[in-house]
Amino acid sequence: MSEEPFIAPVDLKAAYLARQPEIDAAIRRVLDSGWYIGGAEVADFEHEFAAYFGVRHAVGTGSGTDALHLALRACGIGPGDAVLTVSHTAVATVAAIELAGAQPRFVDIDPATFTMDPEALVRAVAAVRAERGGPILKAVIPVHLYGHPADMARLTAVARATGLTVIEDCAQAHGARIADRPIGTYGDMAAFSFYPTKNLGALGDGGAVITNNDGLADAARLVREYGWRERYVSDVPGMNTRLDPLQAAVLRVRLPYLDAENAARREIAGVYDRALAGTDLVPPTARPGTEHVYHQYVLRANARDALRAGLKRVGIGSLIHYPLPVHLQPAYAGRIPVPAGGLPQTEAVCRDILSLPIYPQMPAAYRDRVAAAVRTAAAG
C-alpha cells in the first residue's frame, strides 16, 4: 500500500472549503430570514438558473429524480404511456418514468460517447409502436451522461418527426454545450440534479426543471405543490417536491463559478488524455462541436478490474458508473422489455468502464499522480 495520501474519486469538503465564506454567509442569511420553505431565496435562484441557460423558466424541486418525474407529469405523461430512454444511466432516470406511472422502453447507446444512439432511437420508436396492445409512445429522455452532450440535433429531429416530447436528463452535465448552445435548451423540458457530487452541487439534495414553454412551466409549478393555485385547494392531483431555501442559497453562491470549475475539469481531463495516449486504454470521447464538462472521466479498459485493483494498491480510488445497466438489475430484469437483439453496446460498455478521480479543486500533484499511475498500470 502506498504511503502517499489516498486520492478519493471526489472531495466534497474541498468543494465547500473553496467557497466557505460565501456559503456560510448565504446559509446565515437564510437562517436569519425566518423563511425556510420556498420564498425569495428559491425564487432568486430559479431566476438566476434560468438566466444562465437563457430560458424563461426554472422550477426548483427536492431532487433530480423529482425533477424528471415533475417534467413528465407537466408534459401530461402517465399511466398507459411509454417513454424511451437508455439503460446505461443512473437508475433515477428509469425510476422517474415509473413514478409518473409510465412504462420505460430502452434504446442502445453510441459506444464512443455513451449517449443515446439516434439510429437506435429510430428502431426503438418503430418497435414500440408495433407492439400489439402496448402503451402509447409519448416521449424520449436522452441522457447527457458523464458530462458529454447527447447528439441533440439528430435525436430531436427523430423526435419531432415521430411526434415525441423530448425531456433532457441533464443531471450530470450542468454547463455542457453543443456549438455554444447549452444542453437543456433543446427539448421541451430539461431536468437537473443538484446532488452534492454534481458539477453544480448543493449541500444536500435538490433539482430543477427548465423550459421556454410557459404552459409547461405553469403545469410544473402546479403539480410541484399539491396542484394548488389557491392554498389548500388542489385543482389537479399533485405532489410535494420543493427546493430547500438553504440549498438554493448554496447554489446561488456556486452558480457563478460553474463555467470556471468546468474548465478546471477539462484541464484535468486533458492531463489524463495525454497520459493514456499510446496505451490500450480508451479515453472518453468528446464529439466535435461539443463542450464536455467531465462530471466523470470514464475510460475503457479490457482489464478494468485489474487496473482498478492496481490503482487501489497505490492509494488511488476509482468508481464504476455503472456496473450494471438498468435492464439487468434485479428490480428491472425481465420486467421492462428490451429491443429485439438486446442492448449490445450498453452491455459491452458496462464491462470495461472505469471512472478516475476528478473534481475542480483537485491538486495538481494528485492529478499528476493519477495520470502516472494509470500510465504505469497500462504499460505493465
Mean pLDDT of the chain: 97
Residue with cell 497505490: 314
The topology (CATH level 3) of 257-379 is Aspartate Aminotransferase, domain 1 (3.90.1150)
Distance CA 44, CA 55 (A): 15
Q: Which amino acid does the sequence have at 258?
A: L
- The packing angle between helices 364-379 and 258-276, to 10°, is 30
Measured from the Cβ of residue 13, the count of other Cβ atoms closer than 10 Å reads 11
CATH 3.40.640.10 holds for 15-256: yes
Task: Using CA atoms of 105, 342, 64, 356 in order, give the dihedral in degrees to the nearest 10.
Answer: -170
DSSP-derived secondary structure for 37-103: SSSHHHHHHHHHHHHHHT-SEEEEESSHHHHHHHHHHHTT--TTEEEEEESSS-THHHHHHHHTT-E
The pLDDT-based confidence of 3 (bands split at 50, 70, 90) is: confident
The pLDDT of 233-254, averaged and rounded, is 97
Residue with cell 495520501: 5
How confident is the model over 58-74, as pLDDT tens digits?
A: 999 999 999 999 999 99
50-75: b or e for each residue (b if 16 or more CB lie within 10 Å)?
A: bebbebebbbbbbbbbbbbbbbbbbb
How confident is the model over 99-133, as pLDDT tens digits?
A: 999 999 999 999 999 999 999 999 999 999 999 88
Residue with cell 481531463: 269
The pLDDT-based confidence of 15 (bands split at 50, 70, 90) is: very high
Distance CA 365, CA 284 (A): 22
The pLDDT of 124-150, averaged and rounded, is 96
Distance CA 171, CA 159 (A): 21
- For the chain, how many residues are written? 380
How confident is the model over 263-284, as pLDDT tens digits?
A: 999 999 999 999 999 999 999 9
DSSP letter, residue 21:
H
How confident is the model over 76-100, as pLDDT tens digits?
A: 999 999 999 999 999 999 999 999 9
Pairing of strands 228-230, 207-211: unpaired
Pairing of strands 177-178, 103-107: unpaired
pTM of the model: 0.97
How confident is the model over 185-204, as pLDDT tens digits?
A: 999 999 999 999 999 999 99
Domain ranges of the chain: 15-256, 257-379
